[in-house]
């Protein structure tokens, strides 16, 4: 079994999610800028996200189901967003956040486990 087809999509999804997190939430530090400007900048950032996410899903679908790919993307989103929220936005995560994230990760377990 070659490991590369399993790893490359995850790496691309990681990178794409970094771009998308900045596209969706990066403007929150620039509330003094016109909304139309941050929308256009966000679209520009999102373009690069799509340039990574589309190949990630196309390549990933050769070894993962669509549900598994979506689950991988959601878990990555939680990880990237948590770091972004703390490091970029200066927000704190609470125990409630971690409990919620743990429940989502437990759901991911069942997606990959297969039929019960």
- pLDDT (0 to 100) of residue 1: 65
Alpha helices in the chain (DSSP H): 4-25, 35-60, 66-87, 95-113
pTM of the model: 0.87
Mean pLDDT, 10 residues at a time, the chain of 116 residues: 92 97 94 96 96 97 95 93 94 93 90 82
Domain boundary assignment for the chain? 3-113
- The pLDDT of residue 58: 97
pLDDT score for 84: 96
């Amino acid at each position: 079994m070659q490991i590369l087809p399993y790893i490359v999509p995850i790496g691309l999804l990681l990178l794409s999610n970094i771009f998308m997190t900045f596209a969706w939430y990066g403007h929150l530090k620039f509330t003094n800028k016109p909304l139309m400007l941050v929308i256009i900048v966000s679209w520009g950032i999102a373009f690069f996200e799509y340039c990574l996410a589309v190949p990630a899903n196309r390549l990933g679908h050769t070894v993962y189901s669509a549900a598994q790919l979506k689950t991988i993307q959601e878990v990555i989103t939680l990880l990237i967003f948590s770091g972004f929220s703390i490091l970029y936005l200066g927000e704190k995560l609470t125990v409630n956040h971690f409990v919620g994230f743990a429940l989502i990760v437990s759901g991911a377990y069942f997606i990959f486990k297969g039929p019960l």
